[in-house]
Amino acid sequence: MPQMGPLLWLNLFFMFLLAFGLFIILTFYLKAPIKIEKPQFDYSIGQKNWKW
């Protein structure tokens, strides 16, 4: 029966890659959204007079 040491290390490496990739994907999709500040517009409420 062949030694299982290298296969176990390879399995551990692939499990680490899978867990790390899952962690990256979940933190990307489940992170708190960043609030986008709305630009402040200066609207004049009063009526403007026409200059003829």
CA-to-CA distance for 41 and 2, rounded, in angstroms? Answer: 74
Q: Dump strand ranges (E) for the chain.
A: none
pTM: 0.52
CA-to-CA distance for 38 and 28, rounded, in angstroms? Answer: 24
pLDDT tens over the chain, length 52 residues: 567 778 898 999 999 999 999 999 999 888 877 777 776 665 656 677 777 7
CA-to-CA distance for 26 and 22, rounded, in angstroms? Answer: 6
